[in-house]
Amino acid sequence: MRRLTTFFKGHWQLTLLCALVFVLWPSDLVYPLRLLIVFLHELSHAIATILTGGSVVDFSVNAHEGGHVMSRGGNRFITLSAGYVGSLLIGITLLLTAVRTRLDRTALATLGAAMLLVTLLYIREPFAIGFCAPTGTLMLLTARYLPHDINDLVLRIIGLTSMIYVPYDIFSDTIARAHLRSDARMLAEEIGGTTTFWGLLWLAISLAAIFTSLRYGLGANSNVQIRLRRG
């Protein structure tokens, strides 16, 4: 109990941010954030495809908070696994960059540039262009013109959300609704096993990665000092 209390004292801001994301998740207020998480999932598929020798043919995010990557070649086991695992790693990286380094502007600018590059090279559908191009541009402008603290907050929100959403998404797509045409189902059809098996495996990996990153990556205190000016 003492360790838990100490953890919350040292990370109460992230805890509050996490609670706010959960409470507001169904609302239209965080609709752009939900689309961004879908983008990171699909981006992970695309990166894995390219890194394993394949090529991306089409990339899209739709208004119903879904998306797809059409590709040629690449290692199917890695590319199919990369959606959940990759977006988890992106989330952890962004969160720890915000908490442990001063590279917030660089990280946000890199993410914004990646969105614009993907839009230019692979996206053809109007909705996806209308979301990704302005969002990537806004990230670049934020990194260039807004204060470090704003960049830090944006990275924390994106990183934390991408990280904690992965276990829920895995459970929803592969266990609660195993009949869906999910990454796990395609992996089961092409590699073997069952949808639920791959879902449980990814769920275990994601929970272990989240626990490890929070336990050893955040340090003793991740709270941002709030300075109040007199008069």
Contact between residue 158 and residue 90 where contact means Cβ atoms under 8 Å apart: no
Q: How many helices (H) and strands (E) does the chain have?
A: 9, 2
Q: Using 50, 70 and 90 to split pLDDT, how confident is the model at 224?
A: confident
Q: State the pLDDT confidence band at 221, using cuts at 50, 70 and 90.
A: confident
Helices 76-100, 195-217: inter-axial angle, 10-degree rounding? 20
Over residues 209-218, the mean pLDDT reads: 90
CA pair distance 51, 55, nearest whole angstrom = 9
pLDDT tens digits for 7-44? Answer: 778 888 898 998 998 899 989 999 999 999 999 999 99
pLDDT single digits (tens) 40-93:
999 999 999 999 999 999 999 999 999 999 999 999 999 999 999 999 999 999
Rg (CA), the chain: 18
What's the pTM value of the predicted model, to 2 decimals?
0.92
- Listed in sequence order, the residues at least 6 apart from 177 whose beta carbon sits closer than 8 Å to its beta carbon are none
At 108-137, the pLDDT tens digits run 999 999 999 999 999 999 999 999 999 999
Which stretch of DSSP H or E encloses residue 55? strand 55-61
